[in-house]
């Protein structure tokens, strides 16, 4: 069946990306480019929302699934892309050349992520992943200064290794099951006896290698080494983009693969559940502890994102431990990703606005921001509080939801590690808050920000508060989305 | 009930905070008046609730319940009973008075009053919430205003004290969160009322009940504070601005005691009975250790801060003696300590402000310059050491009588007698402090020191009036408290 109408959001985005590149050649007012890009994103989002009501369908011989799970993620990526483009306008308008390419690449990587959320077949997973990654490699190096170039090269090299590892893992899984389609892999594994699976260490190795490949995308320990350098060197809007969208896409694909292909038999899912639980505990502890001595706020948020990946993996562990019918692990993961995306985007938008003026990413240069830009400082404070996981911000509800799933599956030890980690994280997040509100301002100059930045910031902060105070609606959406398409 | 009294009481201060923070161009005077208005109305409303509270029927009244997050079965569920109503009044009372106490703040008043009002909302919310998630939400919100209030408007090592406070509190609440999650999993409900009524029957799961009990208890013990989790308290109190010390000692510590009765004792009566001897021992250690350390303090505010540890030890003793009278006493002691220590901190603030000195060895003879302050400070001090006709006497008497006669804990008499010794030490440090500050030869450097002005006289007399009222006629509160304790006793099987 070739139901191309199910791909309309993706096709729209691809079309807009091409239009933006072409437009860049002919128009002189570059301010038009972000407007067109955002309009394209909004249209694509409109199509995505319109598809929410219809039932799940498979596409191209079960290569793709258009289910609520995929739609949820598609919508999330589109929201993220729109906010990132909004936050980029100031930043990009300083570039002499390649403005069109910048927006087009953001759109193309968003397209890759949307495909990642929907694919249910190993080869198309790999292609979607590469579309995303290659766009991001270029974007990271967009500043063309030594730091940005170094970051891009590091990201490219490590990313290529991760892709190779992933591909090798996929090849092994294919070798032992003879299938590339996730549902058929699942059937092949269920067809094997316990002894049969134990006799095929290659299959297990394939799974482990796939975890490693995806682990790179979500910046999970021990595949996190690229994070601080890349986050520091990349243009700040791209850092924001990496920290939320790339991570969310990674989780989308992990959920799809591990749930669909390796969800049964249950002892297999218990095993990888435990692997993720251990990785989660290590990830959050390591990320939080190394974040403490950081002096550059982008590096600090880099380590913080490693820790957040740890909290998210608590959700993955829960998925491994729960039965197929139970949605709490998956829905709490989706909710956490949504709230984390808004929070981190808000934080980075505030950082972009501040660094536009003070031209520095050092925490000490944020001194006295409470005086120089009270609303910016307030917004950043709210986002940092949300990252700690304190009410009334979204981060609290997200943690509550994800931990409540963990407690249900006898992972109280993991929850206790996680909550203690929240306390550790409070220390370094609050350090930024302290510098902003208690420090002496370096100069009296007010920090002004452009309308686009203010819009992006207010939208994300509004989202953070909304998800923190009345999360019911989004939780319901997440619950609906968590019922994945079964092949 | 047509009018949502509790919602109004809880959220008026935060409405005030938002107005103060975001209306541009408010003068300092107007900010203070707005703050006073938005704290006075909750006080008036809470007193009105107190008068129409049905003492005979008891139970939970003025209930409000709305579905909040269907996915996790959380409700926006408010209500007060005899246990929480006195604490709501206490917080509303202190909330209004601390605005008056802060009248002379001129450093960044806009932010100051906004944080202060947000703090009041969060504490009121804790006392009124009947849903565990809502309770925890309000419990956590309090940390951020406290952090800013101590670290910006404090004195001394304020930033260190503020972060120490935050880390301790967050550690406690992290444990509590784990406990609440376990409780939610074990019962499938977040309603305190349902869980308490279902009792242990609902908590029959693979989860060890004792573990949940202690996870929750740690959160409350940090806040109360119980020895050895108390070390944040002297620092936070000493370095906080006066008004914040008043709220901290007056209402914030009570969140711990309230939580213990509401969650630990009401939900896990059997576990509470099993571990009561241990906790009572901790209470006595807190009382004696707190009092002994207080004896050797030389800083006026630090002295009062340490005395809180000792006084909150009585609360713990009263709670885990698990008797009807002792629990009533513990609740009354929370109220009484809130008012008395609130007044002590307010007076210490006045002395510091007017004399410019807080070191006890450098103060002296101030009774000549500030006779009114001297008298009121003495009244507060006598209240703290439990002199009859003050609320301190009524509360501590009930705690001791209740504990001594309690049958729930073996050997409680010995503990009670040890606890009573704390009174003797209290008398020692209170009288010593009053003597050092106010008596002895007049010192030249304080010649210019002023007495309380008219506004200050107003609020200190309000404190004294409440202390005396409850001291002379404690039944005004104990009637209400008893109505709240009865259901708890029913659970304890007494």
Choose the closest CB to A390 out of B143, B152, B211: B143
Identify all chain A residues contacting B166, using CB atoms and an 8 Å cutoff.
426, 430
If pLDDT is split at 50, 70 and 90, which confidence band does B260 have?
Answer: very high
CB contact at 8 A, A54 and A71:
no
**Which of A315, A332, A334, A472 is the best substitution to test chain B (most B C-beta atoms within 10 A)?**
A472
**pLDDT per residue over B202-231, tens digit each?**
555 556 788 888 999 999 999 988 888 889
Q: Do A423 and B141 touch (CB under 8 A)?
A: no
Residue A38, token pair as written in the block: 């955002």
**pLDDT per residue over B292-320, tens digit each?**
999 988 899 999 999 999 999 999 999 99
- The pLDDT value given to residue B494: 55
Cis peptide before B359 (omega within 30 of 0): no
Q: Between residues 348 and 377 of chain B, which touch chain A (CB distance below 8 Å)?
A: none
Judge whether A194 is closer than 8 Å to chain B, CB to CB.
no
Judge whether B177 is closer than 8 Å to chain A, CB to CB.
yes
Whole-angstrom distance, CA of residue A120 vs CA of residue A106: 24
If pLDDT is split at 50, 70 and 90, which confidence band does B270 have?
Answer: confident
If pLDDT is split at 50, 70 and 90, which confidence band does B201 have?
Answer: low
CB contact at 8 A, A303 and A346:
no
Give A87→chain B minimum CA distance, Å: 24
Residue with tokens 């072409």: A22
Give B185→chain A minimum CA distance, Å: 6
Identify all chain A residues contacting B185, using CB atoms and an 8 Å cutoff.
404, 407-408
Whole-angstrom distance, CA of residue B240 vs CA of residue B306: 14
Question: Which backbone phi and psi does B69 adopt, to 5 degrees?
Answer: -125, 95
- The pLDDT value given to residue B168: 92
Q: Do A400 and B177 touch (CB under 8 A)?
A: yes
- The pLDDT value given to residue B284: 93
Residue with tokens 């990703």: A337
Q: Do B178 and A407 touch (CB under 8 A)?
A: yes
Choose the closest CB to B174 out of A423, A471, A478: A423
Whole-angstrom distance, CA of residue A320 vs CA of residue A255: 10
Question: Residue B2: pLDDT above 80?
Answer: no
- The pLDDT value given to residue B200: 57
Residue A117, token pair as written in the block: 């959320």
- The pLDDT value given to residue B367: 87
Identify all chain B residues contacting A415, using CB atoms and an 8 Å cutoff.
178, 181
* SS3 category, B66: strand
Domain boundaries, chain B: 268-494
Whole-angstrom distance, CA of residue A267 vs CA of residue A189: 12
Question: Residue B128: pLDDT above 90?
Answer: yes
Q: Do B151 and A434 touch (CB under 8 A)?
A: yes
Q: Do B167 and A472 touch (CB under 8 A)?
A: no
Per-residue exposure over A300-325, b if at least 16 CB sit within 10 Å of its own CB, e if not: bbbbbbbbbbbbbbbbbbbbbbbeee
Q: Between residues 427 and 486 of chain B, which touch chain A (CB distance below 8 Å)?
A: none
**Which of A434, A439, A473, A477 is the best substitution to test chain B (most B C-beta atoms within 10 A)?**
A434
Size of interface A-B (CB pairs under 8 A): 92
Question: Which backbone phi and psi does A178 adopt, to 5 degrees?
Answer: 75, 10
- The pLDDT value given to residue B172: 92
Give A405→chain B minimum CA distance, Å: 9
Choose the closest CB to B144 out of A385, A408, A478: A385
**Which of B26, B72, B111, B168 is the best substitution to test chain A (most A C-beta atoms within 10 A)?**
B72
Give B152→chain A minimum CA distance, Å: 6
Judge whether A419 is closer than 8 Å to chain B, CB to CB.
yes
Judge whether B163 is closer than 8 Å to chain A, CB to CB.
yes
Q: Do B143 and A479 touch (CB under 8 A)?
A: no
- The pLDDT value given to residue A75: 93
In angstroms, the Cα distances linking B444 to A173, B373, B441 are 89, 18, 9
Where chain A has pLDDT below 50, the residues are: none
Residue with tokens 């993620």: A73
Choose the closest CB to A476 out of B71, B163, B171: B71
Choose the closest CB to A438 out of B143, B151, B166: B151
Identify all chain B residues contacting A475, using CB atoms and an 8 Å cutoff.
69-72
Nearest CA in chain A to B142: A391
Q: What value does the mean pLDDT take over residues B177-200?
A: 82
Angle (CA) A335-A337-A340 rounded to 5° is: 105
**pLDDT per residue over B242-255, tens digit each?**
899 999 998 999 99
Choose the closest CB to A430 out of B72, B163, B171: B163
Identify all chain B residues contacting A410, using CB atoms and an 8 Å cutoff.
206
> For chain B, what is the total number of helices (H) and then of strands (E)?
21, 2
Whole-angstrom distance, CA of residue B440 vs CA of residue B417: 35
Give the residue from B369, B375, B371 showing the smallest Cα distance to B446: B369
Judge whether A439 is closer than 8 Å to chain B, CB to CB.
no
- The pLDDT value given to residue A487: 59
- The pLDDT value given to residue A179: 85
Share of chain B above pLDDT 70, in %: 98
Nearest CA in chain A to B72: A401
Q: Do B177 and A419 touch (CB under 8 A)?
A: yes
Residue A236, token pair as written in the block: 């700040």
Judge whether B137 is closer than 8 Å to chain A, CB to CB.
yes
A359: left (phi over 0), alpha (psi -120 to 50) or beta: left
Average pLDDT over chain B, rounded to whole?
89
Q: Do B175 and A419 touch (CB under 8 A)?
A: yes
Q: Do A475 and B206 touch (CB under 8 A)?
A: no
Identify all chain A residues contacting B69, using CB atoms and an 8 Å cutoff.
397, 470-472, 475
- Tell me what percent of chain B is helix, strand and coil, each rounded to the nearest 5: 75, 5, 20
Q: Do A438 and B152 touch (CB under 8 A)?
A: yes
Judge whether B152 is closer than 8 Å to chain A, CB to CB.
yes
Whole-angstrom distance, CA of residue A40 vs CA of residue A51: 17
Judge whether A423 is closer than 8 Å to chain B, CB to CB.
yes
- The pLDDT value given to residue A1: 53
Question: Residue B334: pLDDT above 60?
Answer: yes
Angle (CA) B49-B84-B181 rounded to 5° is: 135
Judge whether A292 is closer than 8 Å to chain B, CB to CB.
no
Judge whether A440 is closer than 8 Å to chain B, CB to CB.
no
Question: Which backbone phi and psi does B427 adopt, to 5 degrees?
Answer: -55, -40
Give the residue from A41, A55, A42 showing the smallest Cα distance to A6: A55
């Amino acid at each position: 069946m070739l139901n191309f109408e199910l791909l309309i959001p993706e096709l729209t985005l691809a079309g807009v990306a091409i239009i933006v590149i072409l437009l860049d050649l002919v128009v002189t007012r570059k301010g038009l480019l972000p407007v067109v890009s955002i309009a394209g994103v909004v249209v694509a989002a409109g199509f995505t929302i319109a598809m929410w009501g219809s039932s799940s369908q498979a596409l191209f011989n079960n290569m793709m699934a258009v289910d609520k799970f995929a739609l949820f993620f598609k919508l999330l990526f589109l929201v993220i892309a729109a906010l990132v483009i909004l936050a980029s306008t100031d930043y990009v308008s300083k570039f002499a050349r390649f403005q069109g390419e910048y927006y087009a690449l953001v759109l193309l990587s968003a397209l890759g992520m949307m495909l990642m959320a929907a694919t249910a077949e190993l080869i198309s997973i790999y292609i979607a992943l590469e579309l995303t990654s290659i766009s991001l490699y270029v974007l990271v190096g967009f500043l063309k200064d030594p730091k940005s170039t170094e970051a891009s090269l590091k990201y490219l090299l490590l990313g290529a290794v991760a892709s190779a590892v992933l591909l090798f893992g996929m090849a092994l899984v294919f070798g032992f099951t003879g299938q590339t389609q996730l549902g058929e892999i699942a059937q092949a594994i269920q067809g094997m006896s316990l002894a049969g699976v134990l006799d095929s260490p290659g299959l297990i190795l394939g799974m482990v290698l796939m975890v490693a490949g995806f682990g790179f995308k979500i910046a999970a320990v021990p595949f996190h080494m690229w994070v601080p350098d890349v986050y520091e060197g990349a243009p700040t809007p791209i850092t924001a983009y990496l920290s939320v969208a790339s991570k969310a896409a990674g989780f989308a694909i992990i959920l799809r693969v591990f749930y669909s292909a390796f969800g049964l038999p249950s002892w297999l899912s218990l095993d990888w559940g435990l692997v993720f639980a251990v990785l989660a505990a290590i990830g959050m502890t390591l990320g939080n502890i190394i974040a403490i001595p950081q002096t550059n706020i982008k590096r600090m948020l880099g380590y913080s994102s490693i820790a957040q990946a740890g909290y998210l993996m608590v959700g993955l562990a829960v998925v491994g431990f729960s039965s197929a019918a139970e949605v709490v692990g998956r829905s709490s993961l989706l909710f956490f990703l949504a709230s984390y995306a808004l929070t981190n985007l808000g934080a980075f938008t505030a950082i972009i606005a501040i660094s536009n003026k003070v031209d520095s990413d050092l925490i000490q240069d944020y001194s006295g921001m409470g005086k120089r830009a009270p609303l910016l400082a307030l917004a950043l404070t709210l986002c940092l509080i949300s990252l700690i996981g304190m009410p009334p911000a979204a981060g609290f509800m997200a943690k509550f939801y994800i931990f409540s799933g963990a407690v249900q599956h006898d992972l109280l030890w993991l929850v206790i590690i996680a909550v203690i980690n929240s306390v550790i994280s409070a220390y370094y997040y609050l350090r930024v808050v302290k510098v902003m509100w208690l420090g002496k301002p370096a100069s009296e100059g007010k920090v002004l920000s452009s309308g686009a930045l203010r819009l992006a910031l207010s939208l994300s902060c509004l989202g953070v508060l909304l998800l923190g105070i009345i999360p019911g609606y989004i939780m319901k959406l997440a619950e609906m989305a968590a019922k994945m398409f079964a092949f | 009930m047509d009018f949502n009294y509790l919602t109004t009481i809880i959220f008026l201060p935060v409405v005030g905070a938002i107005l103060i923070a975001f209306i541009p161009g408010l003068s300092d005077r107007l900010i203070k008046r707005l703050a006073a208005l938005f704290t006075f109305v909750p006080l008036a409303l809470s007193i009105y609730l107190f008068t129409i509270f049905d003492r005979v029927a008891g139970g939970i009244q003025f209930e409000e319940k709305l579905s909040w997050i269907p996915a996790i079965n959380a409700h926006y569920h408010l209500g007060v009973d005899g246990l929480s109503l006195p604490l709501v009044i206490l917080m509303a009372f202190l909330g209004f008075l601390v605005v008056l106490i802060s009248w002379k703040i001129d450093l960044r008043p806009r932010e100051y009053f906004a944080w202060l009002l947000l703090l009041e909302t969060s504490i009121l919310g804790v006392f009124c919430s009947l849903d565990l998630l809502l309770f925890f939400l309000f419990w956590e919100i309090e940390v951020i205003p406290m952090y800013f209030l101590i670290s910006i408007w404090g004195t001394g090592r304020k930033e260190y004290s503020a972060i120490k406070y935050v880390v301790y509190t967050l550690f406690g609440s992290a444990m509590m969160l784990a406990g609440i999650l376990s409780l939610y999993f074990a019962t499938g409900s977040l309603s305190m009322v349902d869980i308490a009524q279902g009792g242990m029957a609902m908590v029959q799961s693979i989860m060890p009940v004792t573990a949940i009990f202690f996870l929750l208890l740690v959160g409350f013990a940090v806040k109360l504070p119980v020895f050895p989790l108390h070390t944040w308290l002297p620092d936070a109190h000493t370095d906080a601005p006066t008004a914040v010390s008043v709220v901290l000692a007056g209402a914030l510590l009570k969140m711990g005691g309230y939580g213990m009765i509401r969650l630990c004792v009401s939900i896990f009566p059997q576990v509470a009975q099993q571990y009561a001897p241990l906790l009572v021992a901790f209470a006595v250690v807190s009382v004696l250790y707190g009092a002994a350390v207080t004896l050797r303090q030389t800083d006026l505010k630090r002295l009062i801060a340490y005395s809180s540890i000792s006084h909150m030890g009585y609360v713990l003793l009263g709670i885990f003696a698990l008797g009807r009278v002792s629990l009533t006493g513990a609740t009354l002691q929370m109220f009484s300590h809130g008012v008395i220590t609130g007044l002590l901190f307010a007076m210490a603030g006045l002395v510091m402000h007017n004399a410019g000195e807080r070191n006890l060895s450098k103060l002296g003879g101030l009774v000549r310059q500030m006779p009114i302050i001297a008298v009121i400070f003495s009244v507060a001090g006598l209240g703290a050491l439990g002199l009859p006709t003050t609320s301190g006497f009524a509360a501590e008497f009930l705690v001791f009588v209740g504990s001594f006669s309690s049958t729930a804990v073996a050997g409680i008499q010995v503990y009670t007698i040890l606890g009573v010794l704390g009174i003797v030490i209290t008398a020692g440090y209170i009288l010593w402090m009053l003597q050092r500050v106010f008596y002895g030869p007049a010192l030249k450097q304080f010649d210019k020191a002023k007495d309380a002005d008219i506004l200050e006289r107003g609020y200190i007399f309000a404190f004294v009036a409440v202390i005396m009222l409850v001291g002379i006629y404690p039944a005004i509160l104990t009637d209400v408290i008893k109505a709240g304790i009865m259901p708890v006793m029913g659970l304890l099987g007494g």
